[in-house]
Chains A and B, each alone.
Chain A
Amino acid sequence: MLVDTERCTGCHTCAFGCKSENNLPNNVWWNKTITGTPGKPDENRKMDEPEGKFVSKGGIVIDKDKNIMPLTLEYYTKACQHCSNPVCVEACPTGATYVRADGIVEVDSEKCIGCDSCIDACPYDVRHHNTEGQQYGGNFPVGGMGIKPHTPETVDKCNFCAHRVDRGGEPFCVTNCPAKARYFGDINNPKSEVAQILKKRKYVLLRPEAGTKPSVYFLV
């Protein structure tokens, strides 16, 4: 998955869409919109708070041509990175977390014992432990077709909307990004859109030093 941070306006639609498609419990967000620069350790930044100071030079606050930028405001989104070297898989004692043939890192709820080893191992803080009695936005199931139930005492996370991918589609956040900032495809296929874009654009990965080899690329 590619996320074009130039196009992203931090609108939270992908995060909200994820919640809606996957019928997530209240206060659970598999995908979060973060105010900040991908790759920078600034996740505690206040939502929508620019970095810097409001300075007006005779009325000019921003002039990119003259490199006048006393304030910057960036967003990125964070969900499971579907790493090619997933430490969560290593950490899972029951084999519940596994890598599908297509590269999606998935949790088999039947095998998961809710031990949270994966949560501890994951450097991205993107996994959620379902609890008994967690509340939902509505009183009947909403969301996409074929979504996973959120079984209490198991761990859940973004699975690139595997139920949509299996039908030949794309994750909800990709098709519903109003900024057209998200791309999904097979990076190993050099003809794919994602591979083509990656050839041309600079990108950053989240915490590359963790050695996880994330599959989510942030175009900058």
Chain B
Amino acid sequence: MFNIKLSRRKLIKSSAIAGAATLTGSLGNIRFAEAKPVSETEQVFAGVCRNNCQSLCRLNAFVRNGRLVRTEMAPSVPASELHNPHPKDTRFNSICLRGLSTVHRVYGTNRLHYPVKQTKKRGDMSGFVRISWEQAIKEIGEKFSKLLKTPDGGRTIGVMLNSGNAGRLQGQTGAIAAFRSIIKGNNMWHGLDGAIQVGFSKVCGYKAFYTVGNEPADMINAKTIFLWGSNMAEAHRMTWNLVQQAKEKGSKIISVDTSYNITSSKVDKLIAVKPGSDTMVALAMMNHIIYKKPEWLDKPFMCENSVAPFLVRSDTKNFLRGKDLVNGKAGNTNYVAYNTKQKNLEEAKWVDIKPGANMYGGPKAVLSGGANYELEKEMQVEIQERDASGAVTGKKTVTVTPAFGLLKKHVKKYTPEYAEAYTGLSPAVTREMTEQFAAPKNKPVSVYVSYGAGQYYNSHHTSHALCSLGAITGTYQKPGACVGSYFIDGNFAVHNNFARPAGVRVPHLPALYVRDALEKDNHPMRGLIIANANPVNCYTNQKKDWIDYILPKMDVVVTLDMERTDTTDYSDYILPVAGWYEVDDIITGRKHPFVMLQEKAIEPEGESKSDMECIRLIVDELDKHMPDLKGGQYFRKTDGTVKTDWDYIKESINPVMGLSADKLKQEKTMRYIPRDKELVFAENGYYSTPSGRLEFYCEDPTFVARLFPYGQAETMTEEAKDLERLPGWEEPSEAWFGPTERKELEALRKKYPLQAYYEHNRWRVHSQWAFVPWLRELDPEPKVKISPEDAVKYGNIKDGDYVKVSNDRGFAIMKAVISSSLPQGILNLDRGWHRSQYTTKFGNGGSSQELTNPAYHDSNMNQSYFDALVKIEKV
């Protein structure tokens, strides 16, 4: 019957490698239903997985014998008196294979245990030697204080912080941000996913830079959901659950993307656009609505909540204000609209809108006449002219147009027919998707705009255009309706005032501008301190800008990290920081409506110290060299004792909605949006724009220069300004297959015919989890996906072949995967692999980050990862 292979098993030599049967005692405070006391000791701590996949999954950390043994999805959010409408709210429960692999990162071979100093040339692995904390702090203090004592002061040191850790104390807005404030070091805006936010905040308010959006769970209320540039089912696992719920309820899910992915397999419709053409899609949608389907416009909403009725002067391109009108008083900033019922100009009144729960408040320009305003026609208005001092010098007649009229004129040429060559969408498809977005029968509609649409040189126009679509169709302030990134603003619940001592202003030096600043502006920056960040791995043009140019210009590079990364490899000093489960912390925001607690579950590994302690030690050392700095006070209580993490937690929690540190300690997770329904963005009608309204017309085209100034406002041309006022059309920098008049792009396309696109897959988040062995069993080496047609075309590439992907900036050796998920012309490259993980079979393996394009737009300062052309060949 069976071919029985009889063999005696060997005696078990040791039980140490498996199971834990020898532990005794009673069970800890476990909230799992299934947990019944057994004869083992296990403690459970509340925790949060807090990289920047945005999900911030709550999980429980289990500890035996002082060591973390596993993590699990945390159970439902407990009912609390915070008016949680879902007493057992499981909607935000999530976890993924990364959250479950925490143990591997805590105890991994890649973990840093001791302070280390580079004794040879930067980047030479043999030059690293272990040093004591005392020596490390002393030497860093000497080097930094030497720079800080020069006349350039804080401008000599760049402080790089990214989204590696969302903890409010140890993460990007915590200790390292406090350091930047104390030394007045350079604010090095990272430009990561920046462009999309720029467009959002232009239209929806600068305070909502990251946080335009209803509570993600509100998507369940939508009849139609657009996922724009989002592989949500893979990359935003938690948020996808909410969309899945909407889907099961009958909502239509439409994905706008460039290729096929896991999300595509789950949606009702996948619309594939040409890479970088998203703005044109939105412009054509606006054209169709305004010219062919005006009944889809929401005129009352526009008049009440957008700048649509406000008149814009044709001469200055500014809004007409009360001070401009004949006999208008100096300083009268009132916006002006034409009331069609009263047949006269009406000045909007400034009304102070009260902040709501998790909603900003402030002055809003309010009109009294409902929807009775001229929205389209230009008209002549007699105004008084003023000189620079504000004194009236005379009168003149100017043409003024309602902002909506300008938008209408602006989108006139972008018909679905015109757009086709740019977007790749047939006019019928554009019209159909417009109907899906704007027709009343399909409303309410949620447009979840993600960063896939934000990786191009022109991406800020995309979000500007999409929000404009939302503004003219009334797709805001209602349940189930929003166009945004669906982040929740955690700053209402938790502030980081300890990290931003009042009144401190720091100089700006955006990371993308560093090379130009050093090369052209003779910028004095010579030192870097990096925490929660891996810029050498993650920033565009890795090799030529960062490794070969910027880092060699630095006198000292200090990196705080818990693991070895490309950035620690190129540092002079590496300070080992405690892991996420080795500290107390609080976490809020992103896609969660909760304040969540991280309880310290285990002691810091090796000699690692919390970020907060590392920074305090450096600051105390700097205080010795520079008594005027007085930095140590920020880490101490009034009696001089050093603050504990719990002290920071206590002072950081805003006492809104009954939140307090004590209650958090008890409940671990607290909802801070006190509603019997989901949070709706700006439901109080206030947007933190100059007018308090949705501003699809942006009066100040130097908007971005106010956020990340490096002198770009001063050199901005009129042509560039015009592109910023209304959602402008600009081509991507390189990855553009549509019509162009740029001869140099045509030449580049011939040399490098393929777009390099970088998916966000489930094996890592950015560069984190790169060295987790079990993940590498599933995803063993850097790969590039190529369409079957392109594989044949570019040298008959076969599955599993090593290929070289290259352009003028660099190259990467990767394993080819032939995949029908891609249309021709697009390569899908892995990112986040460290340089040491590329194959050396053919010599240097390069890195896919060498290929990325550092071209920045003065008006978005964005790292445009997908905006690069490459070629591919077999090795």
Contacts and interface: CB of A to CB of B under 8 A. Distances in A.
Interface string A131-154: 010001111111111111111111
Interface stretch (A98-106, A170-178, A185-193, A207-215): A170-178
B542 to A, nearest CB: 26
Contacts of B244: 7, 179
A167 B38 CA distance: 8
Given A26-B777, A176-B72, A176-B73, A168 B9 contact: no
B259 A141 contact: no
Contacts of B237: 9, 11, 178-179
B12 A48 contact: no
A128 interface: no
A180 B92 CA distance: 11
Nearest to B778: A12
A59 B95 contact: no
A29 B424 CA distance: 43
Contacts of B19: 23, 141, 143, 146-150
Interface string B807-841: 00000000001011111000000000000000000
A54 B259 contact: yes
A70 B3 CA distance: 45
A92 B244 CA distance: 43
B424 A56 contact: yes
Contact of A113 (B2, B9, B817): B9
A53 interface: yes
Contact of A46 (B15, B21, B69, B817): B817
Nearest to B19: A149
* Dominant secondary structure of chain A at its interface with chain B: loop
Interface in B586-641: none
B273 interface: yes
Interface string B54-96: 0001000000010111111100000000000000001001111
Contact of B104 (A9, A27, A29, A138): A138
Contact of B72 (A115, A136, A172): A172
Given A9-B240, A23-B19, A61 B103 contact: no
Contacts of B260: 50, 54, 61-62, 71, 73
B774 interface: yes
A167 B36 CA distance: 5
B9 A61 contact: no
Nearest to A151: B12
Contact of A141 (B57, B69, B255, B268): B69
A150 B428 CA distance: 61
B265 A72 contact: yes
A64 B271 CA distance: 12
A72 B266 CA distance: 9
B32 interface: yes
B96 A13 contact: yes
Interface string B747-780: 0000000000000001000000000011101100
A136 B17 contact: yes
A57 B426 CA distance: 8
Given A21-B70, A50-B820, A169 B6 contact: no
B100 A176 contact: yes
B4 A117 contact: yes
Contacts of A46: 799, 817, 819
Nearest to A139: B107
* Dominant secondary structure of chain B at its interface with chain A: loop
B453 interface: no
Given A9-B262, A178-B241, A54 B820 contact: yes
Given A13-B95, A154-B9, A170-B34, A73 B264 contact: yes
Given A13-B95, A176-B72, A169 B32 contact: yes
Nearest to B34: A169
A146 B38 contact: yes
Contacts of B241: 178-180
A120 interface: yes
A3 interface: no
Interface string A21-35: 101001101000000
Interface residues of A, number: 80
Nearest to B821: A50
B544 interface: no
Nearest to A140: B67
A182 interface: no
Nearest to A72: B265
B271 A60 contact: yes
A13 B97 contact: yes
A136 B233 CA distance: 31
Contact of B103 (A20, A91, A148): A20
Contacts of B6: 113, 115
B33 A168 contact: yes
A176 B3 contact: no
Contacts of A116: 5
B388 interface: no
A141 B97 contact: no
B8 interface: yes
Interface in B774-810: 774-775, 777-778, 787-788, 799
A143 B70 contact: yes
Contacts of A71: 260, 264-265, 820-821
Most buried by A among B42, B97, B104, B762: B97
B34 A49 contact: no
A63 to B, nearest CB: 5
A16 B708 CA distance: 42
Contacts of A20: 70-71, 100-101, 103, 774
A58 B64 CA distance: 58
A79 B20 CA distance: 23
Given A11-B96, A52-B820, A137 B773 contact: yes
A19 interface: yes
B272 interface: yes
B139 interface: no
B439 interface: no
B409 interface: no
A38 interface: no
Most buried by B among A54, A138, A139: A54
A126 interface: no
B2 A137 contact: no
A169 B35 contact: yes
B66 to A, nearest CB: 11
Nearest to A23: B18
A60 B107 contact: no
A11 B773 CA distance: 17
B353 interface: no
Nearest to B17: A136
22 contacts: A9-B234, A9-B240, A11-B762, A12-B762, A16-B100, A50-B819, A56-B272, A61-B264, A61-B270, A62-B264, A62-B267, A64-B268, A113-B7, A137-B104, A138-B103, A141-B18, A143-B70, A147-B19, A153-B10, A167-B36, A176-B100, A178-B73
Given A16-B101, A16-B775, A120-B2, 16 more contacts: A10-B262, A12-B97, A16-B100, A54-B820, A59-B271, A59-B430, A62-B255, A62-B268, A73-B260, A141-B16, A141-B69, A146-B19, A167-B36, A169-B35, A176-B95, A178-B238
Closest 6 CB pairs of A and B: A169-B34, A58-B426, A153-B9, A59-B425, A16-B97, A73-B265
Interface of A: 7, 9-13, 15-17, 19-21, 23, 26-27, 29, 46-54, 56-65, 71-74, 91, 93, 112-117, 120-121, 132, 136-154, 164, 167-170, 172, 175-176, 178-180
